[in-house]
Amino acid sequence: MRLTKFTDNALRVLIYAAVNSDRMTNISEIAEKCAIPRNHLTKVVHAMATRGLLETVRGKGGGIRLVRPASEITVASVVRTMEDDLKIIECFEPRCPILEVCTLKNILGEARHAFLATLEKYTIADLVDNRAQLKIAGWN
């Protein structure tokens, strides 16, 4: 029951940008500090910018920053935005013979709802409440 590496890394990027919200950051710095391979990170950041989670500013003094305050970005919204789909199991590949009458998908849907409802309660700001500790750990 894993989130994709894409979502995992998007969360790290947001936490890093929120810890350092007083300035711009950039791909090289995030790659090093968050231990994310640069190639993969470039794709993640591009997707995040396209999907409205990050702003990328070109030119001198440019870089990457949050589009809106960390307190307005729920963890659930990041998961919803970054996961390609939110299926818990794959009913269609191969197409399950009992698809039409199976009640498992409803139960898993209810469980997913409970999962996301929990993440709806928290924002990226909650994840950097301990900003000082995160900076001491090297995220400065």
Which residues of the shown chain bind its own copies in the complex (CB under 8 A)? Answer: 1-3, 5, 7-8, 11-12, 15, 33-35, 75, 79, 83, 86-90, 94-98, 100-104, 107-108, 110-119, 122, 126-127, 129-130, 133-134, 136-139
* Token pair belonging to 89: 């199991």
3-class SS letters over 7-39? HHHHHHHHHHHHHCCCCCECHHHHHHHHCCCHH
Q: Is 38 or 62 the residue whose CB approaches its own copies more closely?
A: 38
Q: Is 57 or 86 the residue whose CB approaches its own copies more closely?
A: 86
Cβ-count burial of 123 within 10 angstroms (0-12 exposed, 13-18 middle, 19+ buried)? buried
Tell me how crowded residue 48 is: count the other CB atoms within 10 A of its CB: 25
Q: Is 57 or 99 the residue whose CB approaches its own copies more closely?
A: 99
Residue 38 contacts residue 31 (beta carbons within 8 Å):
yes
Q: Is 57 or 136 the residue whose CB approaches its own copies more closely?
A: 136
**Rounded Cα gap, residues 135 and 21, in angstroms:** 12
CB of 3 to its own copies, least distance (A): 5
Q: Is 8 or 69 the residue whose CB approaches its own copies more closely?
A: 8
Residue 53 contacts residue 67 (beta carbons within 8 Å):
yes
CB of 27 to its own copies, least distance (A): 17
CB of 110 to its own copies, least distance (A): 5
